[in-house]
Amino acid sequence: MDFHKFLQTIPDFSDLTNEQLSILEQSMLVSTHPDGYEFFNENTRGDKVYLIIEGNVSVTHNRGKKCGFLEIKRHHPGEWFGIVSVIDNGKHAATCQAVGNVKVATLPAIAFLLLYESDAPLAHKIQYSINRQISKDYRALVQMIRNVLFAIDEGKDYQYILNKSLPKYDGPERRV
């Protein structure tokens, strides 16, 4: 599927005109990355926003040498990542890595900020889509915190909390 057609499948962009979709398409660079490719590492500055076209991206947090990495979320096609560090010009809070082959569209920070801060109809769609993704990520984080707190209140042990409270994942990035 070409990128233009893919954009039309995203509900937030389904009512954009062909001209608006073309502007968005021309602003982004489509690339394919192999399994294990690291889009960015936590504590590095963000300079791009990514939209997944095909494949999945694992979001992990490094808990130190003793505990290793823990997957906290997995992004799927149609989802954005790398957003917050571009918006607040801060550092990434997690590492994002390809799970299998992944095809993404990359929007450089300067282009993202121009679109995000514009008053054009296309910018409103980008803002809406980004806000929905941030809300989705926030809700997932809140649910994870609730699960952990409930397990602690129930007196569950550390391994139980990891197995029941965090997203199911069977890949090598989840090392406990």
**Tens digits of residue pLDDT in 104-143:** 999 998 888 887 777 677 777 888 888 888 888 888 778 7
Average pLDDT over residues 9-18: 86
- Within a domain: 84: yes
- DSSP characters over 58-111: EEEEE--TTT-EEEEEEE-TT-EESHHHHHTT-B-SSEEEEEEEEEEEEEEHHH
Q: How many domains does one find in the chain?
A: 1
Tokens of 176: 């406990």
- Within a domain: 156: yes
Q: Which domain holds residue 50?
A: 3-165
- Residues 106, 110, 113: CA angle, nearest 5 degrees: 95
Share of the chain above pLDDT 70, in %: 84
pTM (2 decimals)? 0.77
What is the rounded average pLDDT for all residues in the chain?
Answer: 82
DSSP state of 12: G
- Within a domain: 134: yes
- Within a domain: 176: no
The single-letter code of the amino acid at 86 is V
DSSP state of 54: E
- The better pLDDT of the pair 92, 141 is held by 92
Q: What is the CATH number of the domain that holds 146?
A: 2.60.120.10
- Within a domain: 171: no
Q: What is the pLDDT of residues 16-28, one digit of tens each?
A: 888 888 888 888 9
- Within a domain: 58: yes
- Residues 77, 133, 54: CA angle, nearest 5 degrees: 10
